[in-house]
Amino acid sequence: CVNDVITTGARPLFFLDYFGTGKLALGVGEAVIKGIAGACAESGCALLGGETAELPGMYADGEYDLAGFAVGVVSKPRIVDGRRVVVGDRLLALASSGLHSNGYSLARRLLDEPRHVEVLLRPTRIYVRALRALRDAGLSVHAAAHITGGGIVENLPRVLPDGCGAVVEVDSWERPAEFDELVERGGLDRHAAHRTFNMGIGMVLAVPAESVERTLAVLGEQGDRAWLVGTVEAGVAGVDLVGGDT
């Protein structure tokens, strides 16, 4: 949630959750809430509360449903909505921590060995501190795309103005091994792979060409790996994936 909020230039204020289950297992509930509280602390937002519902007629034993939402705030002049994107802007990619909760229907079928448990359960990286650091350093972000369901192929075009597209070098960032395994096991072509999974990228920023080096330096100071992966160009439809094998 907070990764979506920050793409608008907003600062996350608070989060509320919903936890639904047939019969509440205290140990499970406690672990979930601790995880949520930790993520809120990392994001600098408050966990105001939420709803815990026991619905034995709807959930099987041991199952639970978890949902939530975040609210943020930004002053109108500082809203990031892609309107400032221009041809020639550079695209910087921030590393993901793994699958980021997307493509799991396929990933669970393909990564079905005990050694894959850590990959499937790895938490999503939160980028609040990274984008806040850029703002505090006075660096301009013309657009930010959270790479979720649909991958870079579907998410990046949403933040680009009409008449502009993105040329992305697919071999310009470090791709975690699990994505290569998913591509091989699933027999995915380039477009399908980058539409289904984030392929190692959790966030893409469009920034002025002259600020690339400074932006990468500030991100590195926050412990975020980031790469120059492409350019905003005119006459390109959506995202043009070039270079590399997949």
User: What CATH number should be reported for the domain holding residue 13?
Assistant: 3.30.1330.10
pLDDT at residue 76 in the model: 95
pLDDT score, position 47: 97
| Together in a domain, 107 and 68 | no
How do beta strands 143-146 and 201-207 pair? antiparallel
d(CA 178, CA 67): 26
How does pLDDT run across 80-95, given as a tens digit for each residue? 999 999 999 999 999 9
Of 22, 50, 78, the residue that ends a domain is 78
What percentage of the chain exceeds 70 in pLDDT? 100
pLDDT-based confidence at residue 244 (cuts at 50, 70, 90): confident
Q: For residue 246, is pLDDT > 90?
A: no
| 220 and 136 share one domain | yes
Same domain, 95 and 72: no
Do 99 and 213 sit in the same domain of this protein?
Answer: yes
Answer yes or no: is 197 within a domain.
yes
Residue at 85 is within a domain: no
Structure-token pair, residue 119:
């990959």
Structure tokens at 213: 């080096």
* Cβ atoms of 156 and 232 closer than 8 Å: no
- The number of beta carbons lying within 10 Å of the beta carbon of residue 31 is 11
DSSP per-residue codes, 54-74:
E-TTTS-TT-EEEEEEEEEE-
136: CATH: 3.90.650.10
Q: How many Å apart are CA 209 and CA 226, to the nearest integer?
A: 15
Q: Is the pLDDT of residue 245 over 80?
A: no
Residue 101: the pLDDT is: 85
**Strand 90-95 relative to strand 226-234: parallel, antiparallel, unpaired?**
antiparallel
- Per the structure, the complete domain to which residue 161 belongs is given by 90-242
Q: In this structure, are strands 64-73 and 239-242 parallel, antiparallel, or unpaired?
A: unpaired
Helix axes 212-221 and 128-136, enclosed angle (nearest 10): 130
Determine, yes or no, domain membership for 84. Answer: no
Examine residue 46 and state whether it is found in any structural domain, yes or no: yes
Assess whether 64 and 107 both reside in one domain: no
Q: Flag whether 162 is in a domain.
A: yes
Q: Do both 139 and 206 map to the same domain?
A: yes
Total domain count, the chain = 2
Q: Rounded mean pLDDT of the chain?
A: 95
Note the pLDDT of residue 48. 95
The alpha carbon dihedral of 167, 170, 176, 178 has a sign of positive
Tell me if 83 is assigned to some domain: no
**What are phi and psi for residue 29, nearest 5 degrees?**
-60, -40
HSE-CB at 234 with a 13 A cutoff on CA atoms is: 3
